[in-house]
Structure 1
């Protein structure tokens, strides 16, 4: 009798649910090899990236365009995670806990308070942990699969130093770009369609549509959703294709369509600055400096990082606190264990934003908070000296410049091969 009643109850419930119509709980929007991307995964990522674009002031693309861009990012993330898992690359819990601990410390919170703050903002602790683990994993994968395999030969270094334009200019360029990636082994028909698409985007740029919005809508580069911005770079740190184009451009101008092995590029020169002596100099000024780095994240905004550094600066300037001790306690950089000491720095050793702020300081002075691609810095200059630049130093600088130039191209090529070898079935339009 009890079994019969249970069966009847089930039938009644099933009939009621059927009568009310289907209710979608979740569905698959993409199959990536043996893994899937669900509608809920996509929705959460779209909301997160929309908030980031709004904070950056980047115009949001149309909803369907943004959704497809974010889906492609999730697909690429899945592919990289799969490769990491297949090759036994891991981020263990100890390394992850240390990273989370640094984030909590940077926010002046205990781990309990940090978790509570996340949950108050609607971010579950488990999800946040896995997002940080994924960021660390992808960084290690790129280092192993791309950066560690870049080789710069002695002949390339000698050839680089033999050209005066590579050694006598410190001019820097602030760029943004749009990449329309070509599949590996693309047919002439595929390239023709891709070229036509690039021409359409270039025409829209010429008509005055916001470049950053078009990059977020159409670019296949990893930086697409940040408006395609590459930041300030010297010519030797740019891919050769870009360097050849931008040295002839004025700020505000856009390149013609450029063709590389990765696909078709459109480059916008936002600004240019500097000039003068570089690797060709026989003597250069070195700076001995310290810094405190606060990294930004989903829970540490630019404003939060800047306010924390202003507070630390006040403690040093007005309260007599030790810069080195505060660096040990608060900096997220590897130099924290040395009190933030960076040693003697040559021109070009640091990112342009950091170097420009450091060069403006007198020995003993402490900067205001400075933003760079790595986060926010507080910089203290200890002393300066002028040193001869040896041939070995010149060659090392040239080798580093060539590595930088090759890195972007190699990374783009690696991503393209990874995508082309994968089985991907997009079901965004399925009902």
Structure 2
């Protein structure tokens, strides 16, 4: 639980409220802590020293068992501040576009986090507060996360499409047939509109990272220390990806590598990249269990109360099981499901989860030709008969779906990366603390 909260709070710590405000003078005068200070301005918003400190502490907590993997404090602070600035700019952009997150949306997100960790929302609140967190801020940070995700979806939806011909070309390509690779990376970005000196400085930093790795530094630690990518503080882990998701120049390099190998510093459209091949696996046949079943659905209505619907379903079950009346005939006469009633309740062949979790669980409990007791879903009361099961080769269908997703992911990643670069380069950002400025940051007029 502590590890979960540390990771979650780390992610949320860089998604702080969209409008930080300075402490009122009267409250500040009575407080025992020193006055806060503004460390950066992002358009019409500010980032406070206290916010930066909280975010840095969250990173340190995540790496408490491996503190040697963290970069020096001044580098860590710059990395975290850059994330805070970019997050703040995204929230501003989302608000300008009318993105709205309701309390109900946040309630649902809280319930989802709690359920994933086998907690109730009340237990999640207690756990956050036991670990020193403020639950109201936790909710706000979840809201910010949802806001940015909706901004991402909007940008991608408007700029990414995948055609059937692109899918056909990908499926026939050698890189697709080569399978998947598990990668980690270090990205040293080149600022938008950079001159030759800035490009040379980025290349020198990439070469410095490569030299550190060759000198024995762990790749994850080097990613934390040198990478500019959003996943730097996660050790640069890209997870499993198909080779076709990589830019062609990177794919060609990866094809020549063995697990454990580290590439040279490769020039890409946004900067220099160092890749590590962690593992690789070949594609395999995708066999899926399918079920054939039929159902009768009795739904409550203005004329049928829920209790009457339940009794009607029970009566039909008794007629099928005890009086041996024909299931299909009763389905045609009595079922209220518009998609299956005219077919005698026949649902056809389908994958287990296609009709929802409740029906999937019932299918797993039944034997072939067995009829279930009436059970309830949102649609009403069901009687389910499992007619059979089979193993179906879904390799081609799954491959096509994966190819569509792969192409879409690659385009979406590039589109949103371009969007963030434009957002950052066109924003007014003033880092007021000189030691927190990264290379290339220029102070605004009048700044120290």
TM-score normalised to the size of structure 2?
A: 0.64
Question: What CA distance in whole angstroms lies between the structure 1 residues aligned with 2:250 and 2:412?
Answer: 13
Distance 1:37 1:194, change over 3 A: same
The 8 Å contact of residues 179 and 265 in structure 1, kept in 2 or not, is answered as: yes
Q: Which residue does the alignment assign to 2:6?
A: none
Q: Which residue does the alignment assign to 2:270?
A: 262
Q: Which residue does the alignment assign to 2:357?
A: 339
Aligned: 1:199 with 2:217: no
Q: 2:181 aligns with which of 173, 176, 182?
A: 173
| Alignment map for 1:205-244 (pairs within 5 Å) | 205-244=213-252
Distance 1:189 1:147, change over 3 A: farther
User: In angstroms, what is the RMSD of aligned CA positions?
Assistant: 3.3
Distance 1:336 1:26, change over 3 A: farther
Local SS of the residue matching 2:69: coil
- CA displacement at 1:126 relative to structure 2: 1.2
| Alignment map for 1:273-292 (pairs within 5 Å) | 274-275=281-282, 284-287=286-289
Q: 1:421 aligns with which of 408, 418, 426?
A: 426
Question: What CA distance in whole angstroms lies between the structure 2 residues aligned with 1:135 and 1:217?
Answer: 25
Distance 1:74 1:155, change over 3 A: same
Question: What CA distance in whole angstroms lies between the structure 2 residues aligned with 1:209 and 1:81?
Answer: 36
Aligned: 1:97 with 2:104: no
Paired positions, count: 321
Question: What CA distance in whole angstroms lies between the structure 2 residues aligned with 1:112 and 1:396?
Answer: 39
The 8 Å contact of residues 239 and 409 in structure 1, kept in 2 or not, is answered as: no
Aligned: 1:410 with 2:406: no
Could you tell me which runs of 5 or more consecutive residues in structure 2 were left unpaired when the two chains were aligned.
Answer: 1-28, 292-352, 362-366, 368-387, 436-447
Question: What CA distance in whole angstroms lies between the structure 2 residues aligned with 1:427 and 1:337?
Answer: 56
- CA displacement at 1:162 relative to structure 2: 3.7
Question: What CA distance in whole angstroms lies between the structure 1 residues aligned with 2:63 and 2:140?
Answer: 22
The 8 Å contact of residues 42 and 427 in structure 2, kept in 1 or not, is answered as: yes
- CA displacement at 1:341 relative to structure 2: 8.0
Q: What do the CA deviations read for 1:101-125 (whole angstroms, capped 9, x no partner)?
A: 3334455555444433322221112
The 8 Å contact of residues 42 and 430 in structure 2, kept in 1 or not, is answered as: yes
Distance 1:187 1:222, change over 3 A: same
Q: What do the CA deviations read for 1:339-397 (whole angstroms, capped 9, x no partner)?
A: 28899xxxxxxxxxxxxxxxxxxx9xxxxxxxxxxxxxxxxxx976133666x776544
Aligned: 1:128 with 2:132: no
Q: 1:387 aligns with which of 387, 393, 398?
A: 393
Q: What do the CA deviations read for 1:151-192 (whole angstroms, capped 9, x no partner)?
A: 2334433432343x145333x211111111112222222212
Distance 1:168 1:341, change over 3 A: farther
Distance 1:208 1:37, change over 3 A: same
Question: What CA distance in whole angstroms lies between the structure 1 residues aligned with 2:77 and 2:129?
Answer: 25
Aligned: 1:253 with 2:271: no
TM-score normalised to the size of structure 1?
A: 0.66
Distance 1:162 1:62, change over 3 A: same
Q: Which residue does the alignment assign to 1:116?
A: 126
Distance 1:340 1:200, change over 3 A: farther
Distance 1:234 1:342, change over 3 A: farther
Could you tell me which runs of 5 or more consecutive residues in structure 1 were left unpaired when the two chains were aligned.
Answer: 1-16, 279-283, 290-334, 344-362, 364-381
Q: What do the CA deviations read for 1:306-334 (whole angstroms, capped 9, x no partner)?
A: xxxxxxxxxxxxxxxxxxxxxxxxxxxxx
- CA displacement at 1:407 relative to structure 2: 3.1
Distance 1:341 1:73, change over 3 A: farther
Distance 1:234 1:72, change over 3 A: same
Local SS of the residue matching 1:31: strand
Q: Which residue does the alignment assign to 1:305?
A: none
Question: What CA distance in whole angstroms lies between the structure 2 residues aligned with 1:144 and 1:429?
Answer: 36
Q: Which residue does the alignment assign to 2:403?
A: 398
Distance 1:287 1:27, change over 3 A: farther
The 8 Å contact of residues 146 and 414 in structure 1, kept in 2 or not, is answered as: no
Question: What CA distance in whole angstroms lies between the structure 2 residues aligned with 1:58 and 1:167?
Answer: 38
Question: What CA distance in whole angstroms lies between the structure 2 residues aligned with 1:418 and 1:36?
Answer: 17
Question: What CA distance in whole angstroms lies between the structure 2 residues aligned with 1:60 and 1:129?
Answer: 28
Aligned: 1:75 with 2:85: yes
- CA displacement at 1:143 relative to structure 2: 1.4
